Amino acid sequence: MAEEHLDDVYRFLVYLTKDMHTADELTGETFTRAMGAWKRFDERRGSARTWLCQLARSVALDHFRSEERRRKREQAYAATEPVRDDRDPFQELSPALRRALQELSAADREVIALRVILELDGEAAARVMGIGRTACAMRLSRALKKLEEKVEIDALV
């Protein structure tokens, strides 16, 4: 199960964090949690992939929150940025698309990752995000609109 869905979880976290190093760490954390919570997994409530993506999202949210707290805490001390992976996770994409993705928010990238990259259906993606199917469709629509606009602007420039 872990082998089967590892790439999906990793891709989802890459899109959420825009950082391969962080995605790597969070993927490990996600599977650690999954092992601990395996007894609670109920396949009637969704596939293993959906469940792992839910865990991954929760892990990523915890990460973002802790990052926010850390930034606020260190602003007063003018602390340096944490060590980030210099590798661009989207380096294989065309420059316009890469820049557009980089400019999108994590929320937009999240829904694109779930629906486009992982190819989850609307219901599964909505379950991962903890929202309704219609709300999920609206978010995807908005995210794609932003992506399209940014790609077009980049092409014009």
The three-state (H, E, C) secondary structure of the chain, written as one string: CHHHHHHHHHHHHHHHHCCHHHHHHHHHHHHHHHHHCHHHCCHHHCCHHHHHHHHHHHHHHHHHHHHHHHHHHHHCCCCCCCCCCCCCCCCCCCHHHHHHHHHCCHHHHHHHHHHHHCCCCHHHHHHHHCCCHHHHHHHHHHHHHHHHHHHHHHHHC
Site string (34-73) toward another protein, x via CB under 8 A: -x--xxxxx--x---------------x--xx-xx-----
Residue 92 CB, nearest approach to another protein (Å): 4
**Does 20 help bind another protein (rule: CB under 8 A)?**
yes
Comparison of 14 and 55: residue with beta carbon closer to another protein: 14
**Does 14 help bind another protein (rule: CB under 8 A)?**
yes
**Does 145 help bind another protein (rule: CB under 8 A)?**
yes
Report the interface residues with another protein, using CB under 8 A. 2-3, 6-7, 9-11, 14, 16-17, 20, 24, 27-28, 31-32, 35, 38-42, 45, 61, 64-65, 67-68, 89-90, 92-94, 97, 101, 105-107, 110, 112, 115-117, 119, 122, 130-131, 137, 140-141, 144-145, 147-149, 151
